[in-house]
Structure 1
Amino acid sequence: MNRKIIITLLVVVAFVAGAVYFYNGYLYKDARDIASEEVTHTLTAQQLLADYENNMAKADSMYLNKTIAIEGKVTEVKDSLAILDAVVVCAFSTTPEINKDDKISVKGRCIGFDELFGEVKLDQCSRND
């Protein structure tokens, strides 16, 4: 009788330990720190847009969810957004110290091409110059 209780308790403890490991290790991973990641591609805002317009599937495979650096002229600044060459929207976590007509390099995670507006979007951006 005691043997059955001990085996049952060991199975329950092993199951709970496995569930906790899975829950913490796989479901809730730390968020990416884009600012500390290495850049996979460096290109101009116009080059990035052209890649998406020419072949969206290929551009997605090269840039989507990757840390990239984009160079261009700031055409608009709104709160924590900066738009480069009127085609790349860069979302910063804080309001950047950027002025219209500045020529800058931005590092961020590419989140894809917005066909409706004809622009590429980046998030978690930071200045790269």
Structure 2
Amino acid sequence: MSKKVKILIGLIVIITTGYFGYNYIMTGGARDVQTEKSEYTTSATNVFTEFSNNSETATAKYLNKTVEISGKVTNVGENVITLDEKVSCQLQVAEKVAIGSQVNIKGRVTGYDDLLEELKLDQCLIVK
């Protein structure tokens, strides 16, 4: 094989590995939060206080974990619910929720946005 072919094959392997690695990290692998047991149950205010006081410690504790968070709905988007103006939850399935109602959300913590001071969750569902 020529040197150019070996380099091309190497590049294809690296790009393919990078693509699948990126997708795995961004989607959390093949997880089903619905069937997982919550590792932590807390309120939106309490979890926000933990991140405000020490975001590094709170990130180590909650990142990529399944949590159940209770709070008052302060904003409703197409597939996003915000609790206590502090926790943004990306819903798996759009649901009708009234602003001002008290709900429990189960989801996977994807990170804390220091700029917006908002905790982000994905794969969320409303616990009934």
TM-score (normalised: structure 1): 0.76
Structure 2 letter corresponding to 1:119: E
State how far apart, in whole Å, the 1-side matches of 2:105 and 2:50 are. 18
User: Residue by residue, what CA displacement relative to the aligned partner does 1:30-73 show, whole Å, maximum 9, x if unpaired?
Assistant: 61001110000011101111000111111011110000000000
CA RMSD of aligned residues (A): 1.9
For the residue of structure 2 that corresponds to 1:49, the secondary structure is helix
Quote the offset at 1:97 in angstroms: 2.2
The equivalent residue for 1:121 is: 120
In the TM superposition, residue 96 of structure 1 has moved relative to its aligned partner by 1.6
Match of 1:68 in 2: 67
How is 1:94-105 mapped onto 2 (pairs within 5 angstroms)?
94-105=93-104
**Where does structure 1 differ by over 3 angstroms across 4 or more consecutive aligned residues?**
27-30
User: Partner residue of 1:46?
Assistant: 45
Q: CA deviation at 1:112?
A: 1.1
Instruction: Give the number of equivalent residue pairs.
Output: 105
Gaps of 5+ in 1: 1-22
Gaps of 5+ in 2: 1-16
Aligned to 2:103, the other structure's residue is in SS state strand
Percent identical among aligned pairs is 35
Q: Which residue of 2 aligns with 1:92?
A: 91
The TM-score with structure 2 as length reference comes to: 0.76
